[in-house]
Structure 1
Amino acid sequence: MEAAQAQHTALPGEQLAAAMVVRLAKGVMAPDEEIAELDALIEARFREHPHAEVIRSLPGMSARLGAEFIAATGGDMDAFGSADRLAGFAGLAPQPHDSGRVSGNLRRPRRYHRGLLRTMYLSALASLKSCPASKAYYQRQRGEGKGHKQALLALARRRINVLWAMIRDRECCHASLSAPVAA
């Protein structure tokens, strides 16, 4: 042991390599710290909004998704006028795409806010784990023959309607509010 401890082999450039490793490690860790700081700032700013508590009470809506919802809508629900117009803005309200004798073709509008659609889609996906009413609605949509993505988009549309009503009435989500309703 003494002999092993007494041996010190030094390679040329060893100290330079060690300094480079330390510098690279700091460079890798710096963005993670910045992201954590930005997340904390976003969450703090979101909590200052008057609708923050109502939005966060909806199952599956995290602080980050709530902040994205506020950013996408501008935080002013009066600008939309109705839940249907908000759903159209999010791309969740299909528009007719008829031509001539062909009718009944419904498609997503060409112009919609992709960030808001993403926010509502992710909140619907997250609500499947935490909200029995959302899971029941999703299962009912799947039972009607819709695929996974179609059922999630239908759930996202329904959640837009619920969120609109919650913000309009300034009420947080309760078990009775999120109970499955025939749609």
Structure 2
Amino acid sequence: MNVSVSSHDLARLGRDLQRAGRKDLKKEALMRMRRAVQPIVPEIQRAVRGTPGGTSDLRSAQARAARPRRLRDATARGVQAKASLTGKYAGVRLRVDPRHFPDGEKHLSKYLEGTLPRWRSPSWGHDPWKTQRAHPYFFVTIRPHIPAVQAEVAKVIKEAMDELGGGG
């Protein structure tokens, strides 16, 4: 089964619901779209926490106090499910919120995933810098779920349009 849902379809649905004054239907559609991806959130969190690495036990007490949260924990806490029927990015999406990271470290989750090319960090007491390897966790986790999510979102669009056309 090949299902394709574009952001234009969702934006059109959002506009149609707005024109019809159907806030209840819009709220229901957004809730169902978020519910379609919500079970993937704990899977991503487990995947990121399961990536190799972590030196918290090897760091000094001063280093732990300076940056108490570990990269993988901050990344896992930042996983969010969002849904929108308006704007340029109408759709349902999963993301890692960079607000869970301190200033200067907002892109660490992208380095960990491997979407940014080079990841260097200071090496305490050894060579001044070391290059770290990426450990993909995000896209490999969501890829198997994409067809089911697309099918559910297409179903949401169809049912909302049917209700608008039938009784709206």
Common fold: TM-score over 0.5: no
> Larger % of strand: which?
2
Looking at secondary structure, tell me which structure has more helix per residue. Answer: 1
TM-score using structure 1 length: 0.24
TM-score normalised over the length of structure 2 = 0.26
Tell me which structure has the larger Cα radius of gyration: 1
Greater RCO structure (CA 8 Å; 6+ sep) = 2
